[in-house]
Each structure stands twice: as C-alpha cells, then as structure tokens.
Amino acid sequence: MKKLTDTYTLPNGCPIPCVGFGTWQTPDGETAVSSVREALRVGYRHIDTAACYGNEVSVGEGIRQSGVNREDIFVTSKVWNSERGYDKTLRAFEKTLADLGLDYLDLYLIHWPAAAHQYEDWDALNLSTWRAMTELYKAGRIRAIGVSNFLPHHIASLMETEVPPMLNQIEFHPGYMQPEIVRYCRERGVLVEAWSPLGTGRVLGNETLCAIAQKYGVSTAQLCIRWCLQHDTLPLPKSVTPARIEQNTHVFDFTVSDEDMKTIDALPYIGGSGFHPDRVDF
Ligand code: A2P
C-alpha cells in the first residue's frame, strides 16, 4: 500500500480503500458532519459508521457536503444487535440507507454476533440475520457483506453458506492482536479490518510505542496505523480533530522494520475497549 486510496480486494473482487475513517464515539450533529467532510477533503475515500453510533444522518450530510462523488467513496454501516433476524435486518438496512441519504451501501456488517451467553439459539439467529444480508447483496443493494466482532465459533456456520462473509471487522491494535481469529480469517480469504487501531487512544502513551515512533519521526498514532497495514489489516482510525484526521493519513512514507514489528507484537495488553463478544451485555 502506497497511498490512502490504494485498495485491498474482497473475495468477490470488490476493491476497498486501505485505510477507513472511523466514526465510533463521534458525536452526532456538526462534529460528525465536519469531521467526515474534513476526512474526505484530506483524501480518505472510506467511511465507517453504524446504526448504533447514532450519527448516520450527520455522516451522510458530511458526505454530501464534501462534494466528492458518491461512487468514489466506500461507505460501511452495520446492523445493530436489537435488529437481528431476517425481517428486522431488512428493515434496519432500509432505515440506515434513509438516515445516510444513500441509495446503496458498499459494505454492510453484522455488528456483533448473537452469542451463547445471551441466546440459546444464537447460531440460528446469526444465520437468519445473514440470510437477509445475503438477499440484499444478491439484489445489488450492497456491494459486499461481512461481520464484525465474530470469533471462529461465531463465523463458522456462516462460512458454509452460499455467500460467506467477505470481511470481519475486529478490535486490533498493539497489545490486542486476537491472533486466533486473524489466522482463521486469513486462511479463508476473509479480510480483517482493525477497529480502534489506536486502542481508543489508550495505547498512545505507551513508552515502547512512543520510543519506536520517535525513531521514525512519526506520531504514535501513525506508528499504530502503519503497524496495522504491515499486518495486512485495514485500520479504521477515528478522530474529530482536523490536524489528527490529516496526520493519520501520512502513513505511507515510512516502513516499520521487522525487528520493531516484533517488539510491538510482543507488547502485553495496554488498554482498549474491554469488550468481548462472548461477554458483552448489549
Ligand atoms: P479525537 O477524536 O478527540 O481527535 P481509535 O481510532 O483507536 O478508536 O482511537 C480514537 C481516539 O484516538 C480518539 O480519542 C481520538 O481523539 C484519538 N486520536 C486519533 N488520532 C490521533 C492522533 N493522531 N494523535 C492523538 N490522538 C489521536
């Protein structure tokens, strides 16, 4: 990857820009509008949102205000946990499109797996949500479909369906690499996206990371984003601060050495969301 608009290719051939702009925890209203507009102004062409972020209307407005052609932007959203199942997923998709003010999505994801601690029939529920996603995909309403926060035991039955998930968006940052699911996805050609590549900001003060970043003359945030790319994952850094939004795009003019990659890979848990799909209470 040499620039922001270079792409990974999904299993169905669909190109996806290699860094996405994250909007989790971006407040709805002017903050979301202006940060999305700014991201598109400085060159991002991939915006990641979700119904549960509560900011889809503003994200859509930011896209329109940017003046960038719709077909030049890759837009992702996700079906929330309360909308699982075939009928509800179809309805949730229409609401997401209406809120964003778009007539198709590039990528639609199941936000979290239904899991055994909450549902006896969790696997059937995920399959029924997936059936709706598959139908929307086959009808041309979405260019690609996938999942988020799925571990191997959650995704396994979906991999056996007519249209297996093309991508899995998971928490991935220094100190939290989830090697088992990353390996599972890689072996099956499922692209891994990294949400909170900066550990929601909590890894940025780590001394080891700061020292390595300093060596390359970059910020710790840039180091984390670059480290994700060198692991062949697709980072989704979030910021509402114009200078940081731009800084996070400058990750193509340095390469982290193998030795430094290994040092970062060996870091113990530093911080992050603290969410685990088999334990969350939402
Ligand atoms: P803000 O949005 O106030 O600019 P993640 O993407 O891992 O969830 O991390 C997002 C957090 O990291 C936000 O608090 C964001 O702050 C902060 N952040 C994003 N980019 C940078 C940067 N380049 N330098 C410092 N903090 C950053």
Residue 108 among the catalytic residues: no
Confidence class for position 140, pLDDT limits 50, 70, 90: very high
How far apart CA 271 and CA 274 sit, in angstroms, is 8
| pLDDT (tens digit per residue) in 5-26 | 999 999 999 999 999 999 999 9
Quick: pLDDT tens for 24-47.
Answer: 999 999 999 999 999 999 999 999
In whole angstroms, what is the distance from residue 241 CA to residue 34 CA?
10
The pLDDT of residue 279: 97
Choose which residue among 38, 241, 273 to substitute to test ligand 1 binding: the one with the highest number of ligand atoms within 8 A of its C-beta. Answer: 241
Mean pLDDT of 196-212: 98
pLDDT at 210: 98
Nearest 5°: CA angle at 53, between 75 and 178?
80
Ligand 1 touching residue 209 (CB < 6 A): no
> Using one digit for the tens of pLDDT, what is the confidence trace for 45-81?
999 999 999 999 999 999 999 999 999 999 999 999 9
In whole angstroms, what is the distance from residue 244 CA to residue 95 CA?
31
Q: What CATH number was assigned to the domain covering residues 18-265?
A: 3.20.20.100
Query: Is the CB of residue 204 less than 8 Å from the CB of residue 195?
Result: no
Q: How confident is the model at residue 184 (pLDDT cuts 50, 70, 90)?
A: very high
Domain boundaries, the chain: 18-265
Question: For position 240, what pLDDT does the model report?
Answer: 98
Q: Is 106 helix (H, G, I), strand (E, B) or coil?
A: strand
Which residue is closest in CA terms to ligand 1's atom 19? 239
Strands (DSSP E) found in 127-233: 142-148, 167-171, 191-195
At 76 the pLDDT is 99
CA-closest candidate to residue 142, choices 175, 165, 168, 114: 165
Q: How far apart are CA 147 and CA 97, in angstroms?
A: 18
**Nearest Cα residue to atom 9 of ligand 1:** 200
